[in-house]
Structure 1
Amino acid sequence: MVQDDLLVVGFDLETRREVHIAEGPPEHWKRLGYNGTGQLVCFYCFHGFEAPVGTQVPLVTRGRLGGKVRRHFAHPPGQAPAGGHGPETVWHITTKHTLAAWARTRPGVARVRLEQWTEDRDRRADVEVLLEDGTKIALEAQRRLMTDDGWRVRHRDYVRQGVVDVWFWRPRVHFPHIVLSEGLPVWFYSVSKREAATSLGRPHRQVGEWWKAPDLSVYGLHHPPCALDELERVTMPLGSLGLAAHGAVLPGDLHKRLLDSQQEARREARRRQGDAARYAQSVRDAQERAARAPAPASPPRVPAGSLVCEACRRPLDPLLAKARRHILC
C-alpha cells in the first residue's frame, strides 16, 4: 500500500489535464514520463504546491499490479520538494478529482463541474453535479476539522438554494456531529485504498413501549445514524456507491443488510403490539364480567349487642364467643 502523503497525481502537459495511473497501462506512462517524452509531470509541483507555479517534474511509475506496493506515480529520486507535498493538499486535490470522475460514471448525471459557485455566489462547491431531473448536488472534500457552527452555516446556505450537499471527510479527521443531527450521513474517502467509508447507526435499545415509536427503522441498523448512536464503520469501493437526488447511495448488498435488520425489528414490534392488544382485551373482558356479576348478598342485620363473627360478620353462637368466629371462617 502507498501512504496518502506519498501519492502523486500526474498532469499531462500536452492534453492539459490531470491524469491517474489507473487510466492507462504502466508502459504508456513510462513513455510519457521521466525517461520518455517528459510530458507527464507532477500535478502539484506544476500548480504551485510546495514549488513555484509551472515547475515541471517528469514522473516515474512504480509498483506493479498484484504486488505489495500498488502502482503509483512518484518523483524521480531527489526531485521531490523538501518534505514532500502536504498530505492535506494531496488528499484534497486527489479526492476532488476522483469524486468528479466517479460522478460522471453514475446513471442519471447530466453534468459535472469542478470548483463551481452557487447561483448567489455564497458557496463554491468542490464538485458540482447536475442530475437529469434537475437536482443540483455539491460534493465537498473536507480535509480539516470544522466547527459545528462553521459546518451548519455552509450546509444551510446549500439548503436555502436547493442544493443537496454531500460531504466526504479525510480519514481520521473528526467530523462535526451536528452533521448527524441534521440527518446527513458521514462519508470518508481513502486515497491510498480507493475506498469510501461511512458509519451505520446500531439498533436502538428496545425500552419502554418502543414499538409505538413513529419510526421503527432505528431499532434495526440504519443509515444515516442518529446523533447519539453507537456507530459501525463500513467500507466499500467508491465505484460501488450510487448517486441520487438525496445524495450518495449505499451499495445494494449493504442496503439489503439494513432492510433485513429493520424488517426484523418491525416483526418484533408487531409481536409486541399483538401481545399488548391481547392483554388490553383480557383486562376489558375481566371488567365486563365483573360488571355483569350479581351483587353479593348483604349480611343479615344483627341486633345491637349481639355476638358476631369477626370474619363474616354474621351472628355467632355464645359457645364460640371465645374463638370470636365460626369454625369454618
Structure 2
Amino acid sequence: MMTPTRFLGSVLALLVCAAPRVVFAQDVAMAEALFNRGVEHMQRGRFAAGCPAIAESMKLDPLPGTQHTLADCLASAGKLVGAVEAYDEFLKMVEALPTWKRGRYLERVEKATQKKEELAPVIPRLTLRFPGGGARGVRVFLDDTEVFEGSRGVARLVDPGEHIVVMVAPGQPRVERQVTLAKGEAKTVDLDASNVPVETTREPFSRWYTRKPIAWVGSGVTVVGLGLGLGFTLGASAAIDRANARADAIRDQAAADPITNYGNNKPCGSPDTSGSDLPGYEAACDVLRKDIADYNTNATAATVGWVVFGVGAIGTGLFTLFDWYLPKKTSTTATNGPKVLAITPSFSSTYQGVGVVGTF
C-alpha cells in the first residue's frame, strides 16, 4: 500500500517531468502562429514583417521546412547574403536527419541547391580600404556594423542596394558616405581619413608615468621638498619652544635677583656673545642663544624645503597636465607647431624657478 508520503513524491515527480512538455508545447504553438503570420505577410509582399516572424518561429521550433521558407522569404526580399546562408543551413539540417526522414525534403533540397547556385554569383562584393593605411583612432562602420582594422581591404558580401559607410573618431562628428551596389557588382571604396579629426585616447596614468623620467624627477623633487619642509618645520617649532621656556626661566630668576635690580636690568647682553651677560647668567644665556640659533637654522631650511616642494609639485603638475591629461587633437596630415617636451624645476646660485624645455 502506498503511503501518503510516497504518493506525494510520485505526484511531484510527474509534475516535474510534465513541466518541460507544457513549455515545449507552448513554444510549438507560438512558433506555428508566427510561421503562419510570416507566410501571410510574405505572400502579400510584406517581407519586412514576414521574414522576422518566420525567423522567430525558427528560434522557437527549429524545423527544416521553416528554415527553407525563411530562405525563400529572404531571397524574395533581396537579402541575398542571408538567403544563401539560410539555404545552406537548411541543407545541413536535412543532411543531419536520419536517412528515412530525408525523403520528404528531396524536392526542397533540389530547389535550395539550385537557388544557392543562382544567388551566390550575383551577391555584390564591397571592399573598404584606406590607401594610406588610415588614421589611428578612426573607426569605420558599414550599415551600423563596425569594420575592424583587420578586415579592411578584404571583400565582403553585401546585399544589393544602398549602404552607408561611416568614419568616426572619439568626440568628433561622424563622416558619412553612401555606396550603391547592383547585383553581381564588385566595388572597392577608398576611404580618405585625412579630414576626420582624431582625438587620441588618454592612456592609463600608471602606464604614462612609468615611461616619463621627467615625471619621476619632478615627483622626487616634490617628495624631498615635502620631507625637508616638514622635518625642519618641526625642528624650528621645537627650538622656539625651548627658547621660550628658557627665556621664561631666566626672567623669573631675574625678577627676584638684586643683581638685575629685580628684573629691571636685562640679564643677557649681546645676542651673539656672552661677554656682556650679568654674573651668574652666562650659562643660561648661552643655552638661550643656542636655542634661538637652532630655530633660525631650522626655519631657513624649512623655507627652502617648502619652496622646493612647491616648485616640484607645480612643475610636475603642469607637465602631467600638458603631457597626459589634456587631450591631444591631431589629424592625419603632419602639422608644424610648438611642442613642449618638459617643464622642470631649475636651480642655480642665482636663479630658482621652472624651466621649459622643448622645440618651438
TM-score (normalizing by structure 2): 0.22
More strand by share: 1
Which structure would you say has the larger Rg? 2
Between 1 and 2, higher relative CO (CA 8 Å, sep ≥ 6) is seen in 2
Structure having the larger proportion of residues in helix: 2
* TM-score, structure 1 normalization: 0.23
